[in-house]
Amino acid sequence: MSGDQHYYFGSGDHVTMHGGSGNIGIDKRVTPVQEQPEAVQEALRELLTLVQELRAQVPPVSAGALDDSLPALRAEADVPPQERHRALLAVAGIAATIGALGVPIIEAVNKVLELMGAK
């Protein structure tokens, strides 16, 4: 491994150079996120409506966490699947803390996860 150089950037990038010289730049082309099937989009819209209703019934800290998750839950959002998955789990966790009122949200999250093939 001699000659390997490791670089860490504040942006979260980690680059390992394996020899060579005159290496410049980082190729950061992003593969476009595939559009979700209509069933997933509809399930996300239903979930978003439930989450917006839930928001008024939880403490401010939980409402803030829901707000952080909302952009990734929008049907038209162009987000990586892992980001959407993370947002879904965050919403389900908050819904689980409020008992019976959270059950429809947990069910809606599970529906979206199933449709996305993540469950």
Tens-digit pLDDT profile for residues 35-58 = 678 999 999 999 999 999 999 889
**Two tokens, residue 119:** 């469950």
For residues 9-36, give the mean pLDDT. 58
Look up the pTM and report it: 0.68
Whether 7 and 17 have beta carbons less than 8 Å apart is answered as: yes
Per the CB < 8 A criterion, the answer to whether 15 and 6 are in contact is yes
- The domain limits of the chain are 38-116
Give the three-state DSSP class for 17: strand
- Can you read off the two tokens belonging to residue 24? 């410049």
| List of residues 6+ apart from 94 with CB closer than 8 A | 54, 58, 62, 65, 66, 102
Q: What are phi and psi of 58, to 5 degrees?
A: -120, 160
Residue 85 pLDDT greater than 70, yes or no: yes
